[in-house]
């Protein structure tokens, strides 16, 4: 066939590559690529996905509407989308070793938050009672977060929430108190799983509490689903009614959500979950994202992923051990999973200060509440995840180097705090960014060393990291 000419009228833009069609956006993407390459990504909820996942995510499947389910759509032209969705469901069940007679899965959620709200919608009536781990104790916003002044998320606005907490001295979930409170509160739903909990979960305990109170049990395994898939952590499937997850944390896929539902306890649960996703909470599925989830699930089922997950845990533990060797306090004294919760209060620092300084030296992490913090706005710690750096092929030795960088950040923070002569964040940041003292000089030196170290490791998704465009104006 001879080639089909590209029109030169108003449709021409439809055929231009991004660099030509929109150099401004292209440059932002290139700058972000460089940022990811030259920095150390320690945010526990992020990862660096594969080239194939990104190709699928950026594919022509974005064009298609497919409201409904495979074989029962509200739009025509869905024969291939049906194949894709069925394949994704099959792979999702296989990835977690689930019997399709017992478990089903909805793969249409746009993200973890929408997956959770859809699951709540499927299980609960408005104003039903829920119990999840409190946000300042490591839970997620969507598990019923409220403050003294405000019901923050829809999960607290539309349902009655009464959180459980961790023990103030150990940082571990206070099981006894949770049980006693559940016996009084009689939640319709108990939620396990969290965003900043460094230890494994006792799902049998949660099941027993739920059973004693006639509650549903939902696990949000968003953070650890890659480790569960690789059998590196306990599986929630034996005990839970519903399991939700994001697909972009340890599972290393695109940004999306999955809802697994147990079919052998309630006959209509499948219909309720599916109807909760669409039409109750969402419209048309994002088929490009679903195809990327499908690719990521294939990769997570590969034996190589098991090695990745093992290494994630070994790296988190190596990082924890090294921080420990400097005398720092870690919540629960260590980690069973991919993350470490570093309590900065004993050294007189806040999470905000360390997050800010780390940013200045191209180490990305986030401030986080630690046990006993009363405010999520001025938290006393930081959360550190090993998942992204493990995707960059780093091992235990490399994580020790990362811990050494973090130790130097703390030392520099001490210098800056003295120079600022006050404990206020704004004075501290001013010294770090525009000061002419020793602290700022040390930060600059550390920034150079971090970048030298990070750029030795390839960036996933980029076939040749040496080709990544550098931006001299961003050098510091």
State the catalytic residue, choosing from 220, 241, 336, 419: 220
| Long-range contact set of residues 95-101: C-beta below 8 Å, sequence gap at least 24 | 95/229, 95/297, 95/300, 95/301, 96/228, 96/229, 96/235, 96/237, 96/260, 97/235, 98/237, 98/260, 101/263, 101/264
Cβ count near 355 (within 10 Å): 19
Q: Rounded to 5 degrees, what angle do the CA atoms 449, 361, 459 make?
A: 75
In DSSP terms, 341 is beta-bridged to: 383
**Minimum distance from CB of 140 to ligand PLP (Å)?**
4
How many Å apart are CA 258 and CA 112, to the nearest integer?
7
Asked if 442 and 412 count as a contact pair (C-beta separation under 8 A), the reply is: yes
Q: What is the DSSP letter of 459?
A: P
By C-beta, is 91 or 223 nearer to ligand PLP?
A: 223
Output the smallest distance, CB 193 to ligand PLP, in A. 6
Q: In the complex with ligand PLP, which residue's Cβ is closer, 68 or 194?
A: 194
Backbone angles phi, psi at 448, to 5 degrees: -65, -45
Shortest CB 184 distance to ligand PLP, Å: 26
137 noted as active-site residue: no
Q: How far apart are CA 149 and CA 42, in angstroms?
A: 32
State the catalytic residue, choosing from 22, 30, 65, 401.
65
- Minimum distance of ligand PLP from residue 109's CB (angstroms): 9
Nearer CB in complex with ligand PLP: 111/317: 111
Nearer to ligand PLP (CB atom), residue 44 or residue 320: 44
246 noted as active-site residue: yes
CA distance 452 to 240: 46
Closer residue to ligand PLP in complex, CB, 140/188: 140
The per-residue DSSP string of 379-435 comes to -SEEEEE-HHHHHTT--HHHHHHHHHHHHHHHHHHHHHHHHHTS--HHHHHHHHHH-
- Match 């700022």 to its residue by tokens: 440
Nearer to ligand PLP (CB atom), residue 38 or residue 223: 223
- 174: annotated active-site residue: no
Q: Is 6 exposed, middle or buried (0-12, 13-18, 19+ CB in 10 A)?
A: exposed
Q: Are 345 and 381 in contact (CB under 8 A)?
A: yes
* Residue 254 contacts residue 292 (beta carbons within 8 Å): yes
> Could you tell me the smallest distance in angstroms from the CB atom of residue 446 to ligand PLP?
28
Q: Quick check: helix, strand or coil at residue 155?
A: helix
Pick from 277, 268, 223: nearest CA to 241: 268
3-class secondary structure, 161: strand
Of 68 and 112, nearer to ligand PLP (C-beta) is 112
Give the nearest distance from C-beta 469 to ligand PLP in angstroms: 29
CB nearer ligand PLP, residue 223 or residue 440: 223
Q: 246 vs 368, which CB is nearer to ligand PLP?
A: 246
CB atoms within 10 A of CB 364: 16
The single residue of 255, 383, 392, 431 carrying the catalytic annotation is 255
CB of 116 to ligand PLP, least distance (A): 6
Residue showing the smallest CB distance to ligand PLP in the complex: 112
> Nearest approach, Cβ of 385 to ligand PLP (angstroms)?
11
The whole-angstrom separation of Cα 273 and Cα 124 is 11
Residues that bind ligand PLP (CB under 6 A): 45, 111-113, 116, 140, 142, 193-195, 220, 222-223, 246, 255
Give the other-Cβ count within 10 Å of 425's Cβ: 14
Cβ at position 108, least distance to ligand PLP in Å: 14
249 is catalytic: yes
Q: Could you say which of 30, 67, 202, 270 is catalytic?
A: 67
Question: Any catalytic annotation for residue 65?
Answer: yes
- How many angstroms separate the CA atoms of 454 and 243, rounded? 36
DSSP state of 224: T
Is residue 203 part of the annotated active site? The answer reads no
Q: Closest Cα partner for 206 from 196, 220, 195? A: 220
Annotated active-site positions, please?
A: 65, 67, 220, 246, 249, 255
């Amino acid at each position: 066939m001879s080639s089909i000419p590209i029109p030169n009228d108003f449709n021409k833009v439809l055929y231009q590559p991004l660099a030509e069609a929109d150099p401004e956006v292209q440059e932002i993407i290139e700058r972000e690529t460089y940022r990811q390459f030259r920095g150390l990504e320690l945010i526990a909820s992020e990862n660096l996905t594969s080239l194939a996942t990104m190709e699928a995510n950026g594919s022509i499947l974005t064009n298609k509407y497919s409201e409904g389910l495979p074989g029962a759509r509200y739009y025509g032209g869905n024969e291939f989308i049906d194949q894709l969705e069925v394949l994704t469901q099959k792979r999702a069940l296989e990835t977690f070793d689930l019997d399709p007679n017992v478990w089903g899965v909805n793969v249409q959620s746009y993200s973890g938050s929408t997956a959770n709200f859809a699951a709540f919608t499927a299980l609960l009536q408005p104003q039903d009672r829920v119990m999840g781990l409190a946000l300042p104790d490591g839970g997620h916003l969507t598990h019923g977060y409220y403050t003294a002044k405000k019901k923050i998320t829809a999960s607290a606005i539309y349902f009655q929430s009464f959180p459980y907490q961790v023990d103030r001295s150990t940082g571990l979930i206070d099981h006894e108190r949770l049980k006693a409170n559940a016996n009084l509160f009689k939640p319709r739903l108990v939620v396990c799983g969290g965003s900043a909990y460094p230890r494994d979960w006792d799902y049998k305990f949660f099941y027993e509490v739920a059973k004693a109170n006639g509650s549903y049990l939902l696990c949000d395994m968003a953070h650890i689903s890659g480790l569960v898939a690789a059998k590196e952590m306990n599986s929630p499937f034996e005990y839970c009614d519903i399991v939700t997850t994001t697909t972009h944390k340890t599972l290393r896929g695109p940004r999306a959500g999955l809802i697994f539902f147990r079919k052998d306890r309630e006959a209509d649960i499948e219909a309720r979950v599916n109807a909760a996703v669409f039409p109750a909470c969402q419209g048309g599925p994002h088929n490009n994202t679903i195809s990327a989830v499908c690719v990521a699930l294939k990769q997570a089922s590969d034996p190589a992923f098991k090695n990745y997950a093992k290494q994630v845990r070994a790296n988190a533990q190596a990082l924890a051990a090294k921080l420990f060797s400097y005398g720092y306090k870690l919540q629960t004294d260590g980690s069973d999973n991919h993350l470490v919760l570093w309590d900065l209060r004993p050294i007189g620092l806040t999470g905000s200060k360390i997050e800010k300084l780390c940013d200045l030296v191209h180490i990305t992490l986030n401030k986080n509440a630690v046990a006993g913090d009363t405010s999520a706005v001025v938290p006393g710690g930081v959360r550190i995840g090993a998942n992204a750096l493990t995707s960059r092929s780093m091992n235990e030795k490399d994580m020790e180097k990362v811990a050494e960088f973090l130790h130097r950040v703390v030392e520099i923070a001490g210098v800056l705090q003295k120079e600022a002569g006050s404990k206020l964040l704004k004075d501290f940041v001013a010294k770090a960014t525009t000061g002419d003292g020793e602290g700022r000089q040390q930060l600059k030196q550390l920034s150079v060393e971090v970048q030298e170290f990070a750029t030795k490791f390839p960036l996933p998704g980029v076939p040749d990291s040496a080709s990544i465009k550098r931006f001299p104006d961003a050098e510091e």
